Amino acid sequence: MMPSPLRTFPPLVDLIADTEMTEDLVSRIAAIALMQAHIVAIQIQDVAIPHLPPERRAVARNFVHRLDRRQLFSNSVLDDLDAFRTTLRDRVDAGTSTAWHGDVDHVRGGYEVLQIDPAAQKLGPVVGELDLLSDLVLATISAAGAMREVGNLIHR
């Protein structure tokens, strides 16, 4: 199997497994999400937008403005993240292919090579950053919601 040009991070649930869920932890996850939003906004502005078709650039700019306004912790942001990530992932997939490189000295007569166009190569890491941001936003929303629900159950 050929390596993917997409950068992947371990699932957030693996990183916080066996961790006591406290308000302090939720606050820290939210702070990390805000920092990641800043990183993503820069990546979208500097890397993604120049590689998008003109008709998609306005959507990307609007998303960057939303991130800059710190409007992160909602399901609509998760939906927007997913849609934008899908757009970039499709572009990376379209710019990535495998080819056969014949080699008479190779035991199988050749080998597969991964061909990645320059835009896909630059967009791959941005998709990874969006994945991480999505995980952090979801973790913050879920943890805060769970704490609220548990509090409601306890105080009934």
Domain ranges of the chain: 21-154
State the greatest distance between any 2 C-alpha atoms of the chain, in Å, as a whole number: 76
Extract the tokens encoding 85: 């990530």
Rounded-to-integer distance, Cα 47 and Cα 39, Å? 11
- Three-state SS at 31: helix
Rounded-to-integer distance, Cα 115 and Cα 74, Å? 38
pLDDT < 70 stretches in the chain:
1-17
pLDDT value at position 78?
Answer: 93
pLDDT value at position 156?
Answer: 73
pLDDT value at position 12?
Answer: 64
Rounded-to-integer distance, Cα 152 and Cα 137, Å? 23
- Three-state SS at 155: coil
In sequence order, the 6+-apart residues with CB closer than 8 A to the CB of 94 are: 120
pLDDT value at position 123?
Answer: 95
pLDDT value at position 16?
Answer: 66
Rounded-to-integer distance, Cα 59 and Cα 76, Å? 14
Q: What does the pLDDT look like over 33-50, one tens digit per residue? A: 999 999 999 999 999 999
Q: What are phi and psi for residue 153, nearest 5 degrees? A: -65, -40
pLDDT value at position 111?
Answer: 84
